[in-house]
Structure 1
């Protein structure tokens, strides 16, 4: 299966490869540019989901031979009086179906929160604070906060895997959008 991901970030490309492999789905993953209209730091659940969906649809449109387009978007949301960083993945197909998955979320450090809510990308803030370049292309801020025990790749893989769950043949009878097994 040919799959396109709307990101040039090797972390996201690898996450898509690993998520498809997790379910035994052979995938050749290509990378395309993300849509230019996306904000650097989406704030609010709907904005994060919309970013993932827009990326997935853009990937599908940009890669004419791809069967699936994948979008991975991380952003801030409020829950329980706290602000969390969450990763959302969307998988779009040529039939117009979009499925969603979420990765684990973690509480945004207080020292970054004001800037994040103003739209400054969390990865940029982490780079400044920790003095490391290209954090988002490597371990991510979660990797820095956990001293490498959990990385951005981990969060991305889980989000994409969860977006694939409704598409698994064994689950075809459980989701209303499948008239027959995919």
Structure 2
């Protein structure tokens, strides 16, 4: 069977993020619009990461700021791919991790100071100018990490300082350590990416919907 490549630009060179995006795309690629013209062609996914700016603070706070960082990364990844490869990607993806103030944690969580951790993923499909968005699940930050973040540290640096790790952002991350490996950072990214892709593999309920 012949093969055709679905090209994906990722607005990060972090291998955990790139692999999470690629893994999610690979699981749904047969249901994406790119598969329709070639029903007898096997589709493969090629994900290429680019070091781009998010144009938001290094530690985004709140859903709006974090989501905007993901959008900016997707746009810049699209542009970087065009320059590097001489053609447009089929999809451009931005991944941005952030923190949210959560008063419920402060009111009901013993020893917690009201910060939860989450991520946003933005997916741009240039053919049609379509966007998809996914938000991860959230989990409470421990007091030691919260205190460091509130003092001005980025979460990744706070994690490495407190847990005596090195470059945890490119390994299991905070979610991996706090779930004791039950949810790796790659899986966390993969699940969020799958949610962001929903409008693309169910276009009849989104882009093609007519009531």
Q: TM-score, normalised by structure 1?
A: 0.89
Going from structure 1 to structure 2, the CA distance change for 1:111 and 1:8 (only over 3 Å counts) comes to same
Higher mean C-alpha displacement, 1-10 vs 33-42:
33-42
- Return the match for 2:100 from 62, 72, 77: 77
Going from structure 1 to structure 2, the CA distance change for 1:108 and 1:138 (only over 3 Å counts) comes to same
Which residue is equivalent to 1:154? 187
How do 1:45-84 residues align onto structure 2 when only pairs under 5 Å count? 45-64=63-82, 65-82=88-105, 83-84=115-116
Question: Is the aligned partner of 1:108 residue 2:135?
Answer: no
Q: CA deviation at 1:119?
A: 4.6
Q: CA deviation at 1:61?
A: 1.4
In the alignment, the residues of structure 1 paired with residue 157 and residue 193 of structure 2 have an alpha-carbon distance, to the nearest angstrom, of 23
Extract structure 1 runs of 4+ deviating beyond 4 A.
none
Residue 27 of structure 1 aligns to a residue in which SS?
strand
Q: CA deviation at 1:152?
A: 1.1
Any stretches of 5+ residues in structure 2 without a counterpart?
Answer: 1-5, 31-43, 83-87, 106-114
Residue 23 of structure 1 aligns to a residue in which SS?
helix
Going from structure 1 to structure 2, the CA distance change for 1:118 and 1:100 (only over 3 Å counts) comes to farther
Going from structure 1 to structure 2, the CA distance change for 1:59 and 1:178 (only over 3 Å counts) comes to farther
User: Per-residue displacement from partner, 1:61-104 (whole Å, max 9, x unpaired)?
Assistant: 11112121101111001235332100111101213322100122
Going from structure 1 to structure 2, the CA distance change for 1:130 and 1:114 (only over 3 Å counts) comes to closer
Aligned residues: 177
Any stretches of 5+ residues in structure 1 without a counterpart?
Answer: none
Which residue is equivalent to 1:19? 24
Residue 81 of structure 1 aligns to a residue in which SS?
helix
Q: TM-score, normalised by structure 2?
A: 0.78
Residue 180 of structure 2 aligns to a residue in which SS?
coil
Q: CA deviation at 1:120?
A: 2.1
Which residue is equivalent to 1:174? 205
Which residue is equivalent to 2:85? none
